[in-house]
Chains A and B, each alone.
Chain A
Amino acid sequence: MATHALNPAAVPAYRGGLYEWLTTTDHKKIGIMYVINSFLFFLIGGIFALLVRTELAAPGIQLFTNEHVYNEAFSIHATVMIFLFIIPMLAGLGNFAVPLMIGAPDMAFPRINALSFWMLPLGGILLLLGFLTPGGAAAAGWTSYPPLSEKGALASPGPGQDLWIVALILIGTSSILGGINFLVTIFKMRAPGMTLFRMPIMVWTMLVTSVLVVMATPVITSALVMLFIDRNYGGSFFNPATGGTAVLYQNVFWFYSHPAVYVMVLPAMGIISEVLPVFSRKPLFGYKAFIFATAGIGALGFSVWAHHMFTTGAVFLPFFSLMTFLIAVPTGVKMFNWVFTLFRGQLTFSTPLIFAIGFLTMFLIGGINGAFSASVPIDFALQDTYWVVAHLHYVLFGGSVFGVFAGLYYWFPKMTGRMLDEGLGKIHFVLMFVGFNLTFFPMHMLGIQGMPRRIADYASDAGWNDWNLLATIGGFTIAASILPFLWNVFVTLRNGKIAGDDPWEGNTLEWATSSPPPPYNFDRLPEIRSERPLFDARHGHLGHGGHGRRGDADAVPALAEGQHDSQGPTA
């Protein structure tokens, strides 16, 4: 059992803890910093959500001094959750996992990787600094449609909106650089044998996500600079009074922000596609179908943006409605993949699997209530009601956030070398699952009853009181569910069970190295002959496709001995 001795021995130069973290270009450390930074913004965004829910618990204006402050609260809640939590959180998990999963020593451009990360806290701070400016933070919603976001007494006169624009441009640039980095890493840094169709699904979803990021994010940057020019240099892009077109912003904005929806969910789909096979002791059902479905979602994602604009009367309804319905097809294929991966599997209900099943069920509801809005006549009734709020939270919270937690519980042992406590994990899941449905299911009823989104107050005789109170109780339940998670992380880091290299009997390469991995990731790699190289190594003579059962795993994992006759092409 010897690894190749390096001469001279490669000893990482020791640098003090904090200095090392601040200056690191190691994709694992950067990935973990992404995760921590995103989680902090998750807490900040969550506090804004609680403020919003508290205000809405009963009719009348109780918490905020006026409606404008309420507008700031929901605008910053959404902006933080989307741009500073979900997107970078998934990018961070990808940052940690992708090079490990393809057997690479690091990302293709490690220093650009660090740059991508450091733009995020900077952007976040700029965004929140808006609260210190006269007029407060951005209050035109996360979409910031003109004329609401233009300068003007009744619109957004203060510099808070400008800070919002600058913050988003920074965060977008970070995404673009990250996307380029992922693409080059995936195309150029794969280990020998790791052909494209042997890559883990997580890597495939990051690939498609990165294509969307590189193609779509610059378009919102253009929308943002135009808005900035309108606001600060007397431009007339979006102001009809001076010859601009307001709906232009919506087109350019959604040309990014619809594909961004897939940026927010595809990596989470990738995470649960790693978790489900491992905890059901089966390969993913329909590996290639899943990949083509992912690519299909990515491609269709560019042709549906105007379904956010049905009621503007300025878009071609039949085309965008049809394309929107079509998106359900590849998504349905994926549902099929996941359900049949679980079907007759040997399920181990560990926390990652429970969160993955949470994703599966909640994302299904989010898909169904979204299909309602794809139908033009129904959308005209539901536009800008709480139905839309319910839909987007079922997809982004029920989908992405549950996926994020599945990934955090799954990779925490690899990141830190210690196992999170299962009991606390399950308490976390139950509280979050119950709280989530308490919060967002009633919003369906509110939407059907016609409650508009983005209002601070409502009539006490509208029949919305009970549902709103229920949603607020649910919101605080979600907040409570974070406490066992934080406690779990705290006690595990202090005194957790040692994980070992491969606590879950994983399939993919990250489990072939130590936990946490060395800075250069791998001393050696197993031979890669399928999309489950570790399964092959563990059950060498059975080869790929053998039926893995728990008992077989007693054998010591044999990492590719004497089988070097058939090194696959790098493709």
Chain B
Amino acid sequence: MTAESPALPASAGAHAEPHGAIGHVQRGISNPILGMILFITSEVMFFSGLFAAYFSTRAANQPWPPAAFKDTLNPLSLIMVATIILITSSFTCQFAVWSIRKGDRKGFIRNISITFVLGIVFLILQVYDYTLLFADGLTLGSGPFGTTYFTLTGFHGAHVFGGVLMLGVILYRGMAGQFSGKHHDAVEAVSLYWHFVDVVWILLFSILYLT
């Protein structure tokens, strides 16, 4: 038993940041980002279940859309504006990530603010669009067409809402100066989530409106 044992003081990692944990050489992806990727994986599987239900229901109900709602879902309407807004917000979100990677805090705050606002605008447009659809008689209870439409877009909207909350948190933290060129795992993680929400919407829009 020598005093200068090379054994490793793993305990130092207990309260230190993952980056600084002695004895735990941090390589590659950081813990929070890996955690977010796995979380997104689980979200993908959640939406897979809903999409599977959609296709199964659609196959069992022909014609689709039913005659009563033949022209209710028109891609060339308000929803196209909402789609463009959400896709744009994915770009501004990525600009924010690139800014903070370079250590450009002002650029980060500007871009993440725009993303945050675009996300809110999308939600407002979606709620407004829902009221228009309700006026046309399309609701959760109006048969398989309405059930699948509102379930899929509703859960997507809930995820956009969650994403907007996350954007709000990193905007607040960014304004408090908590992010730098080296330390911005939260920004990377939130941007991944926001891109995921965007991709789900592109799929939803293509399937619900264009096919």
Contact = CB atoms under 8 A, between A and B. Distances in A.
Given A222-B49, A222-B53, A237-B147, A214 B42 contact: yes
Interface string B42-71: 110111111011001100110000000000
B6 A560 contact: yes
Given A105-B14, A234-B140, A570 B27 contact: yes
Given A223-B49, A243-B61, A519-B14, A527 B35 contact: no
A222 B12 CA distance: 41
A219 to B, nearest CB: 4
B77 interface: no
Given A104-B10, A525-B8, A570-B27, 13 more contacts: A108-B35, A180-B35, A180-B39, A192-B25, A221-B49, A222-B46, A243-B60, A243-B61, A244-B57, A248-B57, A523-B11, A560-B6, A562-B6
Interface stretch (A156-164, A183-191, A323-331, A354-362): A183-191
B151 interface: yes
A226 interface: yes
Contacts of B1: 1, 558, 561
Given A104-B13, A108-B31, A109-B31, A242 B7 contact: no
A215 B13 contact: no
A469 interface: no
Contact of B56 (A189, A234, A245, A523): A245
Interface of A: 1-4, 6, 10, 103-106, 108-109, 176, 179-181, 183-184, 187-192, 214-223, 225-226, 229-230, 233-237, 242-245, 248, 251-252, 255, 518-527, 558-564, 570
B5 A559 contact: yes
15 contacts: A105-B10, A106-B14, A108-B18, A183-B38, A184-B34, A191-B23, A192-B25, A214-B38, A237-B151, A243-B57, A243-B61, A245-B60, A521-B14, A522-B10, A525-B10
Nearest to B148: A237
A6 B13 CA distance: 13
Contacts of B10: 103-105, 191, 520-522, 524-525
A1 B3 contact: yes
A243 B46 CA distance: 23
A2 B3 contact: yes
Contacts of A2: 3, 5
Contacts of B60: 243-245
A35 B139 CA distance: 45
B14 to A, nearest CB: 4
Contact of B5 (A176, A191, A561): A561
A522 B24 CA distance: 13
Contacts of A564: 6
